[in-house]
Amino acid sequence: MSIRLDPRRLGTLKQLAAESNTRPGDLVRHWVEERIDAARAGVATPEAASSLAERLDALLQRVAALETALAASETSDTSLPDPATEVAIPVEAPQPEDAEPAAADEDTQEAAPRRSARKRVSAAPKTERVSLHDEMIAVLVERGPMPAAELAAAIAERGRYTPPRSGKPLDAAMVSQRVSNPTYRARFTRREGRIGLAEAGE
């Protein structure tokens, strides 16, 4: 199952997830499970309803404040995607360990390789902060030279790197800036619009 979010709300979601020290997909699944459990329990007691309402109000106020800050930063940044663009976030339900795989039809079998490829890339430990240049090197070792936009998309797909503080999604401009940074320039090459790894002794 997947949900679609406006890029502004996606940036807010990523920042909330970073503050909670969890992944965006896990945070969304946690919210959905809370709402399902509340609906399954029926009518809540006045104390529980009041507590839930207070938590929702606090969350809405936090989201509104983050969206306001993000909108203010966008006035000076033209590299963000079109606000009308939607971004899909996969949310997968956890499978019991002893569950047997269900029979898959042709559409499911075609989609299976993509899901398997995503599962092969493990997420970073919650306490580990992955640097952008390390993720760039890992992707380039695995896939070879590629344009900055494709490299940014591949890093975002791995889900290990989160841009610090700004809450903005990773884009080609951030990747190009890291390649041009004098500290990391010797590790990368840029030929014919593609970024690659510098060879030893080059």
List helix spans (H) across the chain.
Answer: 7-19, 24-41, 46-74, 106-120, 132-143, 148-158, 172-180
164/125: higher pLDDT: 164
* Bridge partners, 88 (sequence order): 4
Compute the distance between CA of residue 54 and CA of residue 84 in angstroms, rounded to an integer: 31
Mean pLDDT of the 150-169 span: 83
Tell whether domain 125-202 is in CATH 1.10.10. yes
The single residue listed with the structure tokens 């499970």 is: 33
Helix axes 148-158, 172-180, angle to 10 degrees: 110
Compute the distance between CA of residue 80 and CA of residue 169 in angstroms, rounded to an integer: 8
User: Which pLDDT score is estimated for 145?
Assistant: 92
What pLDDT, in 10s, does the model give residues 5-62?
778 788 888 888 888 888 888 888 888 888 888 888 875 555 555 666 777 788 888 8
Mean pLDDT of the 102-110 span: 50
Question: With 0-12 CB in 10 A as exposed, 13-18 as middle and 19+ as buried, what is 10?
Answer: buried
User: Which pLDDT score is estimated for 104?
Assistant: 46
For 6, 13, 34, 82, 137, the CA distances from 85, given in Å and listed in that order, are 6, 16, 28, 5, 29
Closest CA to 170 of 144, 145, 142, 148: 148
The single residue listed with the structure tokens 């019991």 is: 96
Listed ranges 73-77, 158-162, 168-172, 192-196; the one with the highest mean pLDDT: 192-196
User: Which pLDDT score is estimated for 175?
Assistant: 87
What pLDDT, in 10s, does the model give residues 119-140?
555 554 454 678 888 989 999 9
Spell out the domain ranges in the chain: 1-94, 125-202
What pLDDT, in 10s, does the model give residues 50-103?
666 777 788 888 888 888 888 777 665 555 455 544 555 665 555 555 555 554
Mean pLDDT of the 147-174 span: 84
Tell me the pLDDT of the chain averaged across its residues.
74
CA 74 to chain centre: 19
User: Which pLDDT score is estimated for 147?
Assistant: 93
Q: Any idea which of 42-46, 183-187, 195-199 has the lowest mean pLDDT?
A: 42-46
Compute the distance between CA of residue 16 and CA of residue 23 in angstroms, rounded to an integer: 9
Q: Which two tokens stand for residue 52?
A: 């839930």
User: Which pLDDT score is estimated for 49?
Assistant: 55
